[in-house]
Amino acid sequence: MNPLTEQTRASMAEIIHRYPHKRSAIMPILHLAQSVQDEITPEGIAMVAEVLDLTTAEVNAVATFYTMYKRSPVGKHHIGICTNTLCALLGGDAVYDAVSERLGAGHNQTDVDGTFWLERIECQAACTHAPVMTVDWEFMDCQTPASAVEVIDRLARGEMVVSTRGPAIRDFQATEHTLAFPDDGLAGEGGEADAIMLAGLTVANQRGMSAPPATAQGA
């Protein structure tokens, strides 16, 4: 596990300066701590509390409420598979089962060598492309059991894997750093809206449908 350093503390201070109230920076600062240590540790909780002038209990309350903060080492890659309603109807459970079998891991567990962390996720907010899997929070859309396992195999071999709508997969800690410092130079990576995203607009145009005109408030 990497130690938190004075450089980490300085980066936390940089994040704090973005906000009018220090405590508002707690979530990106927790992501920064996780980017360094691969998990949220007591040491990380203590440093975050110190720089924000909060109690460790207040920081723990946030770190335990949001599931993106982990209390065990994640490893190189976080694998999230959506099994909420639409993804489940279109095969999300089968995708999860195939990946779970491939990794020999269950929900919120790592594989035997600690490379992959598997999480069963209730919603990835990407229902248009169900079933959806994320790798280090980058989308892999329209998955099947076979395609999802192939992604895992390619990552395990060290091959480049490009996400469906974003950049090439890096690793969990790099993504965590982006969640703390979003200006990572990768915003232009990936494609634009595809036919699935634009399906509703396409049908509306074909049928000559349009939204009603806006009216002034109170009219």
Which pLDDT does position 211 carry in this prediction? 86
For 43-57, write each residue's pLDDT tens digit.
999 999 999 999 999
Which pLDDT does position 165 carry in this prediction? 87
147 in a domain, yes or no? yes
Which pLDDT does position 215 carry in this prediction? 79
What the block records as the tokens of 20 is 């009018």
Per DSSP, which regions of the chain are E strands? 77-82, 109-110, 116-121, 133-135, 138-140
How far, rounded to the nearest angstrom, does the alpha carbon of residue 70 sit from its chain's CA centroid? Answer: 12
CATH number reported for the structural domain that contains residue 40 in this entry: 1.10.10
Distance between CA atoms of 153 and 167, rounded to whole angstroms? 19
Which pLDDT does position 39 carry in this prediction? 97
- Do residues 144 and 109 share a domain? yes
84 in a domain, yes or no? yes
Adjacency order of strands within the sheet including 138-140? 109-110, 116-121, 77-82, 133-135, 138-140
Confidence of residue 152 (pLDDT cuts 50, 70, 90): very high
181 in a domain, yes or no? no
- Do residues 110 and 39 share a domain? no
- Do residues 60 and 142 share a domain? no
pLDDT at position 218 over 70: no
Percent of the chain with pLDDT over 70: 98
Which of 8-12, 25-29, 205-209 is predicted with the least confidence, judged by mean pLDDT?
205-209
pLDDT at position 38 over 70: yes
- Do residues 81 and 163 share a domain? yes
Q: Which long-range contacts (CB under 8 A, 24 or more apart) does 15-22 make?
A: 15/180, 15/181, 16/51, 16/52, 22/51, 22/52, 22/53
User: Per the structure, how many domains does the chain have?
Assistant: 2
CATH number reported for the structural domain that contains residue 143 in this entry: 3.40.30.10
How far, rounded to the nearest angstrom, does the alpha carbon of residue 31 sit from its chain's CA centroid? Answer: 11
105 in a domain, yes or no? yes
Domain with 33, as residue range(s), is: 6-65
